[in-house]
A and B are shown apart, each in its own frame.
Chain A
Amino acid sequence: MHEFGIAKNIFDAVSEEVKKRDISRVISIKLEVGKLTAIIPSALEFCFETIIKGTLLEGSKLDIIDIPLKMKCKKCSHIFEVKDYSYNCPSCENSDCDMISGDELLIKKLEIE
């Protein structure tokens, strides 16, 4: 289960902040998840809920924001979203493009009490 390891890493990363900043309760965790990470949000939420039971994060919610996979063509600078497995620039057909978003796995914000 891919998402379990990721959920455990989120738990560790947030727990570290909770202890460091002496936070009494985390209401929600805003998480940016890029399309290229191949993470299924519902599976991640399920794993996270399982992990936090009986811990200092019990009751915290994951607020997952999907980030689309976007590329920028190195030739014509066209910016496009990758859909239907097409990684080539739709404008000039060039295959050499830079990813500008889509590999995020980032804890953006904590909503705390």
Chain B
Amino acid sequence: MKIIELDKKVLKRNDEIAEENRKALKQKGIYVFNLLSSPGAGKTSILERIIQRLKGRVDIGVIVGDVQTDNDAKRINKYKIQTVQIITNGACHLDSKMVKNAIKKIDLNNVKVLFIENVGNLVCPSNFDLGEDVRIVIMSTTEGDDKPLKYPPMFYSADVMIINKIDLLPHLSCNVDEIKNNALKINPNLKIFETSAVKGTGIDGLCDWIMDKIKK
């Protein structure tokens, strides 16, 4: 019997490919956002709103991840922007290799900002770097104010939190300040936006911030 000291990261290969993605996209001057949330929090709806506002101002590309169906890609396709659907066939998150393959299908010379819509899940995707510049976690007012405390890895690893569905607040017992406090306990550096994708509330502020990020 022999012991081999390894000290090898389990996700080493994923991290390496993510770094390759990051370099390749940076070289083309493309800024990348990874959108994460539980299923139904409003990732696609927010993305549609962003596209409506930013189309014509900046060239957008979208990679959409889902366990099954290309319904989300169809929703994005309406806007005539480059969209690639990844169907994971059961896997609950995107990994960097899936994104690497998806990137090959995009004409990178005609994209300045790339949105990757991850599979709806607040646990698994947090471990998997895809090569993004910014990680945005979306939670909605219907999910429970303590979501950040229940899923700390996701909120710890995110740069931005969007609280969506604020138009529903009059009908809910949700306390937005409580959500913010809980999220900031885990990650004091989180930048926070409040939106309603349905009504369009807060989307302008979010888009201004996205444009600032791209320009930098």
Knowing that A17-B4, A105-B127 touch, tell me 12 more A-B residue pairs with CB under 8 angstroms.
A2-B123, A5-B95, A9-B11, A9-B14, A12-B13, A85-B182, A95-B184, A95-B188, A110-B3, A111-B2, A112-B2, A113-B1
Chain A 48-65 against B: per-residue CB contact (8 Å), 1 yes, 0 no?
A: 000000000000000000
Residues of B whose CB lies within 8 Å of any CB of A are 1-14, 91-93, 95, 123-124, 126-128, 149, 151-153, 156, 182, 184-186, 188
Question: What residue in chain B is nearest A111 (Cβ atoms)?
Answer: B3
Most buried by B among A36, A111, A112: A36
Question: How many residues on the A side are at the interface (Cβ–Cβ under 8 A)?
Answer: 33
B8 touches A13 (CB 8 A): yes
How many angstroms between the C-alpha atoms of A6 and B186 in the bound complex? Answer: 24
Residues of A whose CB lies within 8 Å of any CB of B are 1-2, 5-6, 9-10, 12-13, 17, 21, 23, 27, 31, 36-38, 85-88, 95-96, 99, 103, 105-113
Chain B residues positioned under 8 Å from A106 (CB to CB): 7-10
Chain B residues positioned under 8 Å from A13 (CB to CB): 8-10, 12-13
Q: Main secondary structure on chain B at its contact with chain A?
A: mixed
Chain A residues positioned under 8 Å from B95 (CB to CB): 5
B91 touches A5 (CB 8 A): yes
Chain A residues positioned under 8 Å from B5 (CB to CB): 108-109
**30 CB < 8 A contacts A-B:** A2-B92, A5-B92, A5-B128, A6-B10, A6-B11, A9-B10, A9-B13, A13-B8, A13-B12, A13-B13, A17-B4, A21-B4, A36-B152, A37-B153, A38-B153, A85-B149, A85-B152, A85-B182, A87-B185, A95-B188, A96-B188, A105-B9, A107-B10, A108-B5, A109-B3, A109-B6, A110-B6, A111-B1, A113-B1, A113-B2
- Given the known inter-chain contacts A38-B153, A113-B1, please indicate yes or no for A5 contacting B6, CB distance below 8 A: no
Q: How far is the CB of B18 from chain A (nearest CB, A)?
A: 13
Chain B residues positioned under 8 Å from A88 (CB to CB): 185
B124 touches A5 (CB 8 A): yes
Question: What residue in chain B is nearest A3 (Cβ atoms)?
Answer: B124
The 3 closest A-B pairs by CB, nearest first: A85-B149, A2-B124, A110-B4
A10 touches B153 (CB 8 A): no
How many angstroms between the C-alpha atoms of A17 and B8 in the bound complex? Answer: 10
